[in-house]
């Protein structure tokens, strides 16, 4: 199953790779070069297919849980000053996605979308400390009765050149469902109440829509 954001790129890549493989077969005289070009076209197609995959996740809806919005590795857990929406101290949990991760963004909890804003910006590497403030990004706030308002931010990286965000103010967010997509390498930051006890650790690998970031006791 592939994400809808990848349909055009997948079709284009398939046609390009098929043309390259057939062209090599009929117009390149060197068998070694033909094999190299055909192998390269197959590798390119496989990489694009794996990037846009959208596997089904077994999300268990639970208002007492905040789930990871994306697949990746936890790279930051620290108190910071969040100056765009809350304008106070929050606990930031950042998840870095490499190009081989699933890049679907999922709602970390159910609730109502209270804020959604796109910011143009730079393309620093996603693990850069200033990428959360300087890179192209979107900021989304979802609120429910259990946790109150929770902010997550999609951040473009050095390779990511397009952030897709489906969240609109007033929408009903359903935990674990598709909230957007980031193309080709990126990061997502979660901003939680400062006293939150998280259930993940630095360098832990997490799965979007399944791994519990924090839970109410």
CA dist 32 to 10, 26, 35, 38, 39, Å?
27, 13, 5, 10, 11
Give the burial class of 179: count Cβ atoms within 10 A of its Cβ; 0-12 exposed, 13-18 middle, 19 or more buried. buried
Is 186 one of the catalytic residues? Answer: yes
pLDDT for residue 65:
96
Within a domain: residue 29? yes
State the catalytic residue, choosing from 68, 110, 131, 186: 186
Q: Are 93 and 19 members of one domain?
A: no
Indicate the length of the chain as a whole number: 217
Q: Is residue 60 part of a domain?
A: no
Res. 6 pLDDT band, cuts 50 70 90:
low
State how far Cα 11 lies from the chain centre.
22
The answer to whether residue 158 is domain-embedded is yes
pLDDT tens digits, 27-73: 887 888 888 888 888 988 887 787 777 788 889 999 999 999 999 99
100 belongs to a structural domain: yes
pLDDT, position 164: 85
Q: What CATH code is carried by the domain that includes residue 204?
A: 2.70.70
Q: Are residues 195 and 135 in the same domain?
A: yes
Written as one string, the DSSP assignment of 130-151 is THHHHBSEEEEEEEETTTEEEE
For 161-211, write each residue's pLDDT tens digit: 578 899 999 999 999 999 998 876 588 999 999 999 999 999 999 999 999
Number of compact structural domains in the chain: 2
Q: Are 104 and 1 in contact (CB under 8 A)?
A: no
State the residue range of the domain holding 34.
4-51
Q: Report the pLDDT value the prediction gives residue 191, as an integer from 0 to 100.
A: 97
């Amino acid at each position: 199953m592939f994400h809808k954001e990848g349909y055009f790129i997948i079709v284009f890549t398939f046609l390009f790779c098929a043309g390259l493989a057939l062209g090599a077969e009929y117009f390149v005289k060197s068998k070694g070069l033909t094999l190299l070009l055909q192998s390269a076209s197959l590798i390119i197609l496989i990489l694009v297919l794996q990037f846009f995959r959208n596997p089904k996740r077994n999300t268990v809806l639970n208002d007492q849980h905040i789930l990871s919005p994306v697949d990746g590795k936890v790279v930051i857990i620290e108190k910071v000053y969040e100056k765009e929406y809350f304008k106070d101290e929050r606990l930031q949990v950042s998840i870095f996605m490499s190009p081989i991760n699933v890049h679907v963004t999922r709602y970390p909890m159910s609730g109502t979308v209270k804020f959604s804003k796109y910011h143009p910006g730079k393309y620093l590497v996603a693990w850069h400390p200033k990428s959360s403030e300087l890179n192209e990004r979107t900021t989304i706030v979802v609120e429910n009765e259990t946790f109150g308002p929770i902010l997550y931010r999609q951040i473009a990286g050095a390779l990511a050149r397009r952030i897709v965000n489906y969240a609109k103010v007033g929408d009903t967010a359903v935990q674990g469902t598709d909230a957007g997509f980031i193309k080709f390498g990126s990061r997502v930051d979660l901003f939680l109440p400062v006293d939150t006890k998280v259930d993940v650790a630095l360098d832990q690998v997490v799965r979007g829509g399944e791994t519990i970031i924090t839970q109410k006791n």
